[in-house]
Every structure is written in structure tokens, then in C-alpha cells.
Structure 1
């Protein structure tokens, strides 16, 4: 199951480490800049401050800084006086944009069912989908499509199940039931099955 992780720099760091144009010295510079940026994608620092943190000479720093800039991973803008440069982590910036787009989706729409499960879970429950909760999902998390898990989560919430672990366990049972039914392949199949079930229950209650 494809994921976009919560916004940190594990994703961007992995991209850098796989890029054969980028040396380990450049990765060290990016790592320091990302730590200074914190939860953002911009930071301000002087060359001397960065050289002291990296234990590099200015000549070495500029060499590998330019490697990042040439590859499109970094940009910088000079500030006046002795305030240093403003560095923009371009790859992290694109990740933030992707995350902003994802988190702007209305959770009540069918479009939301195709969101990565951690994003849908957070939008719908207000809780993070932690590693422990993913583990509680078991095999359905890796084996089933996003729409199935997300729709099952929505059904748990419709039953007023708000505890995160109970929500996950309920959703897991629901998805497992759907997997066991060869007639269910899409959300429409689920809705059709639900309509038939409620129609039968109504007939039973009316004594037909």
C-alpha cells in the first residue's frame, strides 16, 4: 500500500540517498538544514554557522551546497547585512504541498476513500495512525485497497466507535468480512449488500 508519511524528512532523505548525483557530504548539509527548518522547509543561517556545525571549510561547504542546488534539492537567497542566507529545501517543499492537497480533501466525499489510510484516519478521527495501530490492522492493511479500509473506518465511526484501537479493530473485522465475500469488489458492492440486508431486516420486522 503506497503511503505518504507524516511530514518529516525521512522521505526526502531517502530520495537524496538514492540519487547517485548526490554525495554523502551534500546529504549531511541537507540533513543539517532540515533540522534547522524543523517542521517547515525554510531556514536561515550564515555560512560560518553551517560550517561550524558540519565541521567543513567554507570551500568544501560551497562545493557540496552547489551540488544540491544544481540537482534542484536546494535554493538559497541572500539577506542583507550579517543575517545569513535563507535556504529553501525544495524537495521538502514539494512534500508539504502534496500533504496540504491531501489534507484539504473533504472526508465525506468518495474521493476521500482513495486517500492514504493514515491521512483518512487522521482526518476522520482526529487521531494519528500510529505504528501500533497499523500493526493492529494486521494483514488487511498491506493487502487491501485504501477505499476498503477507509470505508470500513467510516462505518466504525457511524457506529459511534471513537476509541482509535476499537475503530481499527472494528474496521479490520469489516474488511475481513468483505474479503471473504466474492461478490464485494467495490464500494458500490458494499452499499448494495447493505441495502439488501436492511430490506430483509425490515421484512422480518413487518412479519412479511
Structure 2
């Protein structure tokens, strides 16, 4: 085999990453949920050793956002119509889920988690450090608030007003123009008949 053929075979070969996508990064199960207390365990992270509460879990990106940790500047544009100026604020940035671990409620140190079942059949998280149960946060039981628009001044205070039909069908402008055109044609037709007769 010549050198040119070997070189072409190497260049035409597909990369291994295209053939087999790597799924090593995605966790099998998510131990961290919104409202958990976590500690940064990545040694070269600037927030190493600090604890905070998880405010959001981004599962499609394998990242978490922890309150008051990993702050970074974010530029907010100004709106001249409202009269607000642009400003730079410090906001929490996301970090990879592998950089944080759950905090043991008994010892206060980061711990790995295993799962077990209670006598009534509920699945719970168990700390590997102390063996204590890590309960799910109460914030998960609360339903998120929807953007409800409640107006204090209602136009319909009476039941009759609520059930009254208020829809008025609008006639298309093309129908009006057509009717005007037909009317002018009829008038011209009548005038030509009168003058012709």
C-alpha cells in the first residue's frame, strides 16, 4: 500500500466521537433538586468549600445554579422609553453538577447519596457519611405561581353583563367598496337610460 493510499484512508476515516456519542457526562439519576443545600467540592473552583441553596437545576445542560455562589457580572440594557439606564449587576452563574455535593444534615459536610425505601414504601435519599435521611425540600411540594392578572376594577359587576352578547360583527371594507361600486354603476346605468330614451 502506498503512502498516498494510507493518507487517504486516514483522512476519510470518521472520528470516533461521531460514531459513538459519549454519554459519560449525563448522570444516571439526579440526586440534587431545587432547594437542596450543597457544597462546592471542586478544588480549583474559586468558591471551593462554600455552601448554598440550589435555586435552579438545568438538567439538559447538567448544571445547577446555587444562590449567592459563583457570582458574575451581567449587563442589563437600558430602555429609553421607560427611562431606565443600562447597568451591570452581579448574578449567579451556573456550575456543573459534578462540582457540588449534597450537605449531610447531621455532620454539615458534603456527602454522597444512596437510595432506600421506608416501611411505607416511600423512596428516600440516605447520606453515605452518617446514614441519615436527607429529605426532599418543601419548596418542591409548593406549586409554582403563575402570572395571574387580577383586576380590581371589573367592567362586568353584574351577572347579566357577563352573559350579555357583546360581539358585533364588522363588515369587511371590501364588501362596502363593492356595494358602493354597484350603487354608482346602477345610478350611471339609470342616467344613461334616461338620457338615451
From the two aligned structures, give the one with the greater helix fraction: 1
Q: TM-score, normalised by structure 2?
A: 0.21
Q: Which has the larger radius of gyration?
A: 2
From the two aligned structures, give the one with the greater strand fraction: 2
